[in-house]
């Protein structure tokens, strides 16, 4: 009897302790989420359009390129590819369509380029291997002839294009209520994976050299579902559509590689702490950065170190928005070193990276 009472007492103590731990954990989570919410509400995001440099620098003499599809096989090999398509179930001539979408993807992306003009060459006169293996280099006289014919300075050739498909089927079971009764349903799923490889060469006829040679490997995935296996398969895009989409994406990737391009990034600034910060937020909303700068400069001299630090950080953003990267770095470093604003450390790194990019851009844009 005594042992039973002791056991009951121990259990009561354990339950009491566990209850207190759970309560403490719950309170901690509540405090965490409140703090996270408060932090998110204390800042706002603003978008900035940036011109970012190309991955490689094209010689200044080249301001226009002809984009040539050389990935198609010769007629004998093309017949073998068509026969293979029938055997494997791949879309007949889908790679042909996908390769021309690669060309169009480059041309469409470079229409937005401030550096290079592109001309899509729809000719299929120049053939390659029809596989992922690079063919021999184009004859330089042929490159010069194409440049003269299309009025361009260089030739960007899609040398290889190939795709592989895989469809995986699976099922899952879940319970649901039908007329008040719980029943188990089987749902069918189909996953389509498309691997596309594209190989490129950039021919410089002026110096008779290859400026760039690169392979892109892209994977796209889609999922479908339905009550039957056929419904799941029907929920997937066609193989031809998926290849065309992957081809166009590969073209865009290549365009970004050879030409500066515009990109949208997000920046953060502080909006809470006092009424003046709220007023500045309103000015930013209406894109009146000069008025916001006047407010933040006054706050940067505040005796309240938290307010002064936030103002310095915001002034860094304003300087970047107005194109003065050096001044932005000064303000961001002041927010970081003098006022220990945690966000400022990452922002300083971003600004230094942008300054480096500006130097590359000046070279690429002939400034």
pLDDT in tens, 62-108: 999 999 999 988 765 555 555 555 444 455 467 888 899 999 999 99
pLDDT for residue 288 = 95
Could you give the CA distance from residue 100 to residue 121 in angstroms, rounded to a whole number?
10
Would you state the pLDDT for residue 340?
Answer: 95
Residue 28 pLDDT = 43
Give CA–CA dist 289/48, Å, rounded: 13
Structure confidence at residue 132 (pLDDT): 83
pLDDT for residue 37: 37
The pLDDT value recorded for residue 180 is 79
Q: What is the pLDDT of residue 33?
A: 34
Count of CB atoms situated within 10 Å of the CB of 112: 10
pLDDT of residue 317: 97
pLDDT for the residue numbered 76: 58
Low-confidence residues of the chain, pLDDT below 50?
Answer: 1-15, 17-18, 20-40, 86-89, 92
Q: What is the pLDDT of residue 80?
A: 55
Q: What is the DSSP string of 154-204?
A: EEEEEEEEEEEEEEEEEEEEEEEEETTEEEEEEEEEEEEEEEEEEEEEEEE
What gap in Å lies between CA 163 and CA 75, rounded to an integer?
19
Q: Are 196 and 246 in contact (CB under 8 A)?
A: yes
pLDDT of residue 239: 81
> What is the reported pLDDT for 41?
66
Domains of the chain: 41-52+264-364 (1.25.40.10), 64-258 (3.40.50)
Going by their DSSP bridges, the two strands 64-69 and 117-121 should be labelled as: parallel
Do the strands 181-204 and 209-226 form a parallel or antiparallel pair, or are they unpaired? antiparallel
pLDDT at 5: 45
> Exposed, middle or buried: residue 49 (CB in 10 Å: 0-12, 13-18, 19+)?
exposed
Is the separation of the CB atoms in 207 and 189 below 8 Å? no
């Amino acid at each position: 009897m005594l042992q039973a009472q002791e056991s009951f007492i121990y259990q009561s103590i354990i339950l009491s302790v566990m209850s207190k731990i759970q309560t403490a954990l719950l309170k901690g989570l509540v405090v965490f989420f409140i703090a996270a919410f408060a932090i998110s509400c204390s800042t706002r995001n603003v978008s900035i359009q940036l011109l970012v440099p190309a991955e490689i620098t094209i010689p200044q003499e080249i301001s226009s390129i002809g984009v040539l599809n050389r990935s198609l096989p010769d007629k004998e090999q093309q017949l073998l590819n068509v026969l293979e398509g029938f055997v494997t179930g791949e879309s007949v001539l889908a790679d042909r369509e996908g390769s021309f979408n690669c060309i169009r993807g480059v041309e469409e992306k470079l229409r937005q380029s401030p550096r290079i003009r592109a001309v899509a060459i729809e000719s299929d006169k120049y053939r390659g291997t029809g596989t992922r293996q690079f063919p021999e280099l184009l004859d330089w006289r042929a490159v010069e002839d194409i440049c003269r014919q299309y009025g361009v300075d260089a030739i960007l050739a899609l040398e290889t294009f190939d795709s592989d498909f895989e469809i995986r089927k699976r099922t899952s079971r879940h319970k649901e209520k039908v007329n008040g009764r719980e029943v188990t349903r089987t749902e069918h799923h189909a996953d389509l994976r498309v691997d596309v490889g594209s190989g490129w060469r950039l021919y410089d006829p002026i110096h008779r050299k290859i400026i760039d040679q690169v392979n892109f490997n892209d994977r796209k995935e889609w999922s479908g579902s339905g009550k039957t296996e056929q419904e799941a398969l029907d929920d997937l895009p066609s193989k031809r559509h998926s290849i065309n989409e992957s081809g166009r994406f590969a073209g865009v990737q290549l365009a970004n590689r050879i030409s500066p391009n515009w990109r949208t990034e997000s920046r953060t600034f502080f909006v809470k702490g006092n009424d003046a910060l709220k007023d500045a937020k309103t000015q930013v909303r209406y894109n009146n950065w000069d008025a916001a700068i006047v407010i933040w400069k006054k706050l940067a001299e505040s005796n309240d170190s938290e307010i002064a630090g936030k103002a310095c950080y915001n002034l860094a953003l304003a300087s970047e928005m107005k194109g003065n990267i050096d001044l932005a770095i000064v303000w961001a470093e002041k927010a970081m070193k003098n006022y220990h604003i945690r966000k400022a450390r990452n922002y300083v790194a971003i600004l230094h990276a942008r300054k480096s990019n500006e130097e590359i851009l000046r070279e690429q844009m002939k400034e």
